[in-house]
Amino acid sequence: MTGKQRYQQAANARAERKEDRVQTFSGTLGITTNAENQVEVPGRPGFVWVQLRNQLNETIQAFNESVSPVFGLPVLVEWDKDSPIRYKVRGRDIGRYTVWVTTNAAGDTVSDTSAYLPAHGASHSFNKLTGVGGGDIVWVYSDQFMPWAVTPSGSAGSLSVSVQPSAYYYDNQFRWAGGTGIAGFENYYPTGSSNARMLLIYLDPDTGNPYIATGTLTEFANTITGTQQIMPYMPSLIEETDIPLAGVRL
């Protein structure tokens, strides 16, 4: 066998082993049925509806373990080479838009920074009653909750805090409050360098405004730390219907 023949034989063998390039299709998650948007296929766990961007706007079912089941999300789908009886979602079609934007709770258009990961909440959850948890549990602390979260803010003035917005039910109606700041802690400093003082940020349900409760301005040793230990020094609410939001230690 000549060298040319050996080369041709090797090339033919390689061509037979070469994997065909998988063809991908652009589409959009979800369909609308009876004026209702649906993404996940009923009775078929793990599958989503995808409307392909082709001449026929064909609607298919595709296996999804790559993206969040968000209606209208641009995706790429391909024929599943590991299970060649179905389509699967390859990932987001990031080339669909030059700039990705979304609408926030206030109705403003903002940059979309979501990774659109597939649904996997169970892997981060823990059930303390059954002792069953996922493989990547998230331990959440109380000060991480955002509704009415009280956080330091430089925009409302020096030594100020901002109150995140949230809804509440009072006097037989739902109301919306927060999204504002409180300033003026400078006047409540303890008198001694070794002392501390507690203030209470609360919400007046009648007006929806946050205020500061000072109590008797009792001072205590600044060596006293920990939530349980400082509770006796927390000021009382002005009215029984007031809503406590956070304590501030000075």
- What Cα–Cα distance (Å) separates residue 138 from each residue in 113, 116, 126, 127, 144? 21, 18, 8, 12, 12
Query: What span, in angstroms and rounded, lies between the C-alpha atoms of 74 and 90?
Result: 11
Domain ranges for the chain, please list them.
Answer: 3-120, 144-249
- The pair of structure tokens assigned to 157 is 């003035």
- What Cα–Cα distance (Å) separates residue 233 from each residue in 50, 77, 183, 213, 216? 58, 60, 21, 12, 10
Angle at 248 between CA 246 and CA 250, to 5 degrees: 175
Rounded average pLDDT over 5-31: 73
Class of CATH domain 3-120: mainly beta
- The pair of structure tokens assigned to 145 is 């909750």
Q: What is the pLDDT of residues 169-181, one digit of tens each?
A: 999 999 999 988 8
Beta bridge mates, 199: 248
3 state DSSP class of 130: coil
Q: What is the pLDDT of residues 36-77, one digit of tens each?
A: 889 999 999 999 999 998 877 899 999 999 999 989 999 999
Rounded average pLDDT over 15-31: 78
Rounded average pLDDT over 221-226: 88
Q: Which residue has the higher pLDDT, 145 or 162?
A: 162
221 membership: H or E segment, kind and range: strand 219-221
pTM of the entire predicted model: 0.51
Q: Which residue has the higher pLDDT, 20 or 117?
A: 117
